[in-house]
Copies of this chain bind each other. A is one copy, B any other.
């Protein structure tokens, strides 16, 4: 698998190092492994250039966003109407195809055609084209067709190599799935069992639900209700009629919830963990082995014989590092060389060379002691007594505390009614105070250090304050010019004002630690976000095709009687309409996303019950998929937590373990550009 990472800013992985060794080798024409001609190298650089990657992402985004403008549209395009989206889609497909062809140019042919990813993209492009043509033809003959290829769009997101994390997550889901399936079957068996009991216990009692329909008489109905009860969405409603009838029947539901919600939840967790333990250790070993193998291959390419052993010459080593990690400073590179060539022999031996990938992964923070620009420009003024006094004041702890107090006072003012003109003026005072704080800090601390890459809070503060300043000024300007008080701008001002208060977290050490934990688990959460996006997109498109127009929303000031039952007579007097849920519909992609979001949070059975019976299937499927995602995320979190646990000695797997690896794993398909990370 060709992993197109930009050479220019890559976290240097062993695969990349190996590739770089080949490129280096090719540049010096020592030997050419396959098509790695200078032209191929240029193409490879171009393929990995950030602008090409950004363009790909942009077109993937455009392709996905098309759903906003296609019928049923959130925003109807004013010009060209129906054909504009189709044209844009064709453009996107062309870009994807171009990218694929480019990829084929820099990959050995045999590898390219063996990769399911590429086949997948090609088929998707073809299928989408066919769908577009059929749809266009039907449109011209004035027949309403269905754009059935739209759920395929996330395939581009998954399969274009940039989203490796998401693909990895999908692979890991595929690994866990069989084991989860068995637990799920057992769970379903338990639900069916309990439903049968419920039918026997309550079916002949002539009980009625709150809505007046017969209670627990239809087996399938019961199964659905019991399934929803597991998600706790219809608790306690589903229990109340039986509970009202007799006290003891409550026990039935309590036992049910304990077994099917809590105990099965634990079993799922246990199964996922067992799976993790089984797979991960091997995977880590495999990775370590692959890493080593690649580094050795790179070494073999560059080695020269010196005395009894093979080594890599110092300037070749430097050239390689410069190629792989052009960002690092000269001093950093010298440091690495000093470590790799401890005896200063002017060459790096095999053992040290193999460590290079790990060495490059160690973060070296280069502290540059800049002088403050003011110190250079106006040294007398900057070092005068009042200036020194200001600077020591800003560095004092009391300065931070003072601003914490100011933030708290600001919080009180925000909570108060801002219609009072004095409070409105106070806002300006606070804004000025914050700006003064930033200016003072910039005066005291060196600006380049103040805005260093790891100074998250400084960046956060400054951008919030500047945004607030712009928004407040804009709001005042709009208010003075027109009578119209722009609501959007005002909303933004409000939000920015409240966001300013977050700063107080940074003052408390313990909170900072928690924020770090949060930042640590962020990548996992983001991968989960990507997965969810894919699932949501597919289900939204399908949901729109099925349920579009079934439930209608009428704005608050409408007078039509339809508004009382969301434009669907079947919803008359339903709890759905009474709770004013009409806006929870599938009438466009944005509404669909929101409904799916609600279903993720609480499997809101109300909606499932009001539309037709087949809808239940849709909702249950969606729920199962989401549960699998969540289990997956827990799995990934566990993995992240325990990866640190694997002792470093594991890096070198024993011979036995290497022999146990499948041939597929031991011999990378693409010896040049493979990147197992």
Contact = CB atoms under 8 A, between A and B. Distances in A.
B637 A269 contact: yes
A566 B511 CA distance: 46
Interface in A561-586: 578-581, 583-584
A403 interface: no
A201 interface: yes
Nearest to A219: B415
A604 interface: yes
A637 B196 CA distance: 32
Of A269, A270, A556, the most chain B CB neighbours within 10 A belong to A270
Interface stretch (A116-124, A433-441, A515-523): A515-523
Interface in A235-268: 235-237, 239-240, 243-245, 247, 250, 254, 257, 261-263, 266-267
Interface in A454-505: 491, 494-495, 497-498, 501-502, 504-505
A637 B266 contact: yes
A580 B517 contact: no
Given A201-B491, A240-B583, A193 B601 contact: no
A430 to B, nearest CB: 14
A241 to B, nearest CB: 8
Contact of A501 (B193, B244, B245, B495): B193
A266 B411 contact: no
A590 B247 contact: yes
Interface stretch (A24-32, A182-190, A362-370, A373-381): A182-190
A525 interface: yes
B494 A240 contact: no
Contacts of A411: 196
A270 B520 contact: yes
SS of A interface (majority): helix
Interface string A517-560: 11011001100000000000000000000000000010110000
B257 A498 contact: no
Interface in A401-426: 411, 414-415, 418
Interface string A574-609: 000011110110000010001001100110100000
A601 B514 contact: no
A72 to B, nearest CB: 15
A266 B581 CA distance: 30
A641 interface: yes
Contacts of A491: 201
Given A182-B514, A514-B271, A498 B196 contact: yes
A270 to B, nearest CB: 5
A521 to B, nearest CB: 5
Copies of this chain, tallied across the complex: 2
A514 B594 contact: no
B598 A236 contact: yes
A641 B273 contact: yes
Nearest to A591: B247
A541 B309 CA distance: 81
A232 interface: yes
Contact of A494 (B201, B501, B524, B641): B201
B525 A243 contact: no
A5 B233 CA distance: 44
B594 A250 contact: yes
Contacts of A232: 601-602
Given A270-B521, A641-B270, A210 B579 contact: yes
A502 to B, nearest CB: 7
A519 B483 CA distance: 71
Of A233, A245, A594, the most chain B CB neighbours within 10 A belong to A594
A510 interface: yes
A392 interface: no
A155 interface: no
23 contacts: A182-B511, A182-B513, A183-B514, A189-B505, A196-B501, A197-B494, A197-B498, A200-B498, A219-B415, A233-B602, A235-B602, A236-B601, A243-B583, A243-B594, A244-B553, A244-B556, A245-B556, A257-B597, A263-B518, A266-B525, A271-B514, A271-B517, A273-B641
Given A201-B491, A236-B584, A243-B594, 15 more contacts: A182-B510, A182-B514, A199-B415, A200-B498, A201-B495, A235-B604, A236-B598, A240-B581, A240-B583, A244-B556, A254-B594, A261-B601, A267-B517, A270-B521, A271-B514
Q: List 6 A-B pairs, minimum CB-CB distance, nearest first.
A: A200-B494, A182-B510, A236-B598, A197-B498, A232-B601, A232-B602
